Amino acid sequence: MIDNTKNNSALLLGVGLDNQDEHRRITKGDNFYLVGGSAETHDRMTETAIKFNEKLSKRGKSLHELSKDEFVDLMHEASGK
């Protein structure tokens, strides 16, 4: 969960727009906040955010420390693309 006592200067925000069942999906975690989407889309966003955090941790960096290129590389790795 998000630790509000930290001074987070960066956050991943995921917004799913393909929801048709009117279910409100919200997932919060370290470095990320995800809202909306179909069950499938929301699950994919959650999986990607968790993998991103794992890869970020392996690099020994915080989200706000990443360069644009490092961010893009990590996101590609985490999303499997």
| Residues 28-61 pLDDT 10s | 999 999 999 999 999 999 999 999 999 999 999 9
Residue 81 has a pLDDT of 73
Residue 2 has a pLDDT of 47
**Mean per-residue pLDDT for 8-23?**
91
pLDDT interval class at 6 (50, 70, 90)? low
pTM for this predicted structure: 0.84
Alpha carbon distance 2, 77 (integer Å): 23
Q: What is the mean pLDDT of the chain?
A: 91
Neighbouring residues of 31: CB distance < 8 A, sequence distance ≥ 6: 8, 10, 11, 12, 49, 52, 53, 56, 63
Q: Which residue, among 79, 72, 73, 76, has the nearest Cα to 41 in the 3D structure?
A: 79
**Is 23 among the domain residues?**
yes
Per the structure, the complete domain to which residue 26 belongs is given by: 12-79
Neighbouring residues of 35: CB distance < 8 A, sequence distance ≥ 6: 14, 15, 16, 25, 26
The count of domains in the chain is 1
Per-residue tokens: 39:
């069950």
**Is 68 among the domain residues?**
yes
